[in-house]
Amino acid sequence: EVQLVESGGGLVQPGGSLRLSCAASGFTVSTNYMSWVRQAPGKGLEWVSVIYSGGSTYYADSVKGRFTISRDNSKNTLDLQMNNLRAEDTAVYYCVKKYSGSYFDFWGQGTLVTVSS
Amino acid sequence: DIQMTQSPSSLSASVGDRVTITCRASQSINSFLNWYQQKPGKAPKVLVYAASSLQSGVPSRFSGSGSGTDFTLTISSLQPEDFATYYCQQSYSIPYTFGQGTKLEIK
């Protein structure tokens, strides 16, 4: 059974950093496309980043240069390093498995990141 | 970036009604269009992928159609558990943009 469990969310001050982690089970992270999708409180879904099985990474313009997606093959985890956080980064962050080049087929339960002083 | 526009933004309907939600892309995305359902406090789940393919386990009252720039999600006979927010999403090109959502409420 595929499971994705995020951790690492919390309250951080503007300009601060946070690292999210997603523990995967039931499949191998490194052989799949993996993404982060976020949802600000009461708002819609926003794609954040993807890492392809080959290692290529891509980002939304809103986070480019501040966020870094990576994976730990030995732990079968997906990470998101978030630097220089802004109030507008406040959201629930979902770890998501992408089915080949197509849709997001499995989602974690989400972890809340709050950027506030 | 490809912009995805859903209509309506909200919809009131009754159990048993037939409901259609529309999604329009700002440029052609062939059939790279997916539909998700999200209930309050829960993660989204995929209903339809590649415009018209029903995800395994999703009830047959859900269907999707369209190609190019115009797509629809239809629920043939609304059930109580279908009241939720629905999102379209294009997987044609990065960034993988979502529509703004359609909130389906009980009339």
Q: What is the pLDDT along chain B (107 residues), one digit of tens a residue?
A: 999 999 999 999 999 999 999 999 999 999 999 999 999 999 999 999 999 999 999 999 999 999 999 999 999 999 999 999 999 999 999 999 999 999 999 88
Are A105 and B55 in contact (CB < 8 Å)?
yes
B92 in reach of chain A (CB within 8 A): no
Question: Does pLDDT of A101 surpass 80?
Answer: no
Strand partners, B45: B37
Whether the CB-CB separation of A80 and A67 falls below 8 Å is answered with: yes
User: Residue B82 has what pLDDT?
Assistant: 97
Model pLDDT for residues B74-90, shown as the tens digit of each residue:
999 999 999 999 999 99
Question: Does pLDDT of A52 surpass 80?
Answer: yes
* B66 Cα to chain A: minimum distance (Å): 16
**Residue whose token pair is 């989204």:** B44
User: Residue A75 has what pLDDT?
Assistant: 97
Nearest CB to A108 within list B32, B43, B50: B43
DSSP string, B79-107: -GGG-SEEEEEE-SSSS--B---EEEEE-
Q: A64 to chain B: nearest residue by CA?
A: B95
- Strand pairing category for A10-12 and A111-115: parallel
CA distance linking residue A31 with residue A52, whole number of Å: 8
- A·B CB contacts under 8 A: 56
Nearest CB to B91 within list A44, A101, A110: A101
**Residue whose token pair is 């933004």:** B9
B40 in reach of chain A (CB within 8 A): no
Nearest Cα neighbor of B86 from B21, B12, B5, B13 is B21
Nearest CB to A47 within list B46, B55, B97: B97
* B105 Cα to chain A: minimum distance (Å): 16
Best of A104, A105, A106 to disrupt the B interface by mutation (most B CBs within 10 Å)? A104
- Strand pairing category for A77-82 and A91-98: unpaired
A108 in reach of chain B (CB within 8 A): yes
Model pLDDT for residues B37-50, shown as the tens digit of each residue:
999 999 999 999 99
